Chains A and B, each alone.
Chain A
């Protein structure tokens, strides 16, 4: 199902763990979506000096998290901001089509962690991140039915394709 590069990152994920004194933390996804990822950053001279992650998810989600941290490590914040989901998927030499959504997780979590760092630096205080049980489209692209992966429009409460009720999921 997965290629060797994906399996390598799944079997030996790089940069796993928590940075207790992180300068920025980004958290995306929730168990309803099937995947959840937290990224921790240590920043020095506007560069990502250290990066760690924790992920709840399938093989592809773990491989994406691992590859993302490899790509981001050592980059300047400006360069890191340009890392896209596609970059991660390409570095993994491709993901099965139905797993491409997993690649969204990685770059999204990184961007949130960078924003968290910049907010803190700018003195914007906010409550500690709490897990949101709602589906959030932080990647700003198309919206897909969480049940059958068919493209749907935002704010629909019912998927015509698989007849699933989306109200719980999709306010």
Chain B
């Protein structure tokens, strides 16, 4: 068990930190766009140039043979700078392409193809176990959504029901309406059949979830740092806010939440690098990150006061992103339900193995 990062990982971190600062939203110069992000081609090609898009895939499949640990390093830096991208989505898609041995992975890692998974469905809670999209004779019919970045995607990957079981299909140039992928006897290529789909999806979403949690970690880090700085500099009643213990005690609790999430996210990256199927660790990490992110996001706004509510100031945007991450790839409730169903599988949760 070793939490330290090596010199190559440090170099990657520094490169992405520099990239992220160049592509970060400019706060303090008028209102920054609010709400879900849109795809930014410049940021995406910069990520491709530093190799971030192909990190976790085997070299013979068109990747760079690194692991979830490097992915987490990249995602944390994006989160810290508030740079919103399709990184997690691309990782889920890339993992599926790699498992299917599909040649599109090369274009994905180069950034020339933007491939995203179409997993959510209107009017349904999160589930990887079923899909209302029907597959028949290499065509798909149904609707998936919202699908983040679908409007910019060159391809989407769709789980579809085929003879009563789930299979995975690739759709080129999808039709997108209001953020939803609309399929109407749409031509599609089967990536994986029913025997391989459930396992492949679980692995892919594990990787994407670790990336999201690492992004949340960077986001929480930035929100905590900004809040602490604000308490030092903002004056009311003629004194800095840090004079008030009711605020500093709450800042201490934010820091505790941050450090708990940091340990867990770093461990999850190592765990997934060691065993990509370790969904229980991913679920636990999603829960810890969700709870820490909710706590830090809410307190960051409250401790800033009114300025935290404004579109021109960064901290509220960080809370917006944490709110979205908690609801992506299964929320806290869904992951707790999955863990609750497996309580009898173990006595204690073993960390040291």
Do A and B belong to a common assembly? no
B residues lining the A interface (CB < 8 Å): none
Q: List the interface of chain A (C-beta within 8 A of B).
A: none
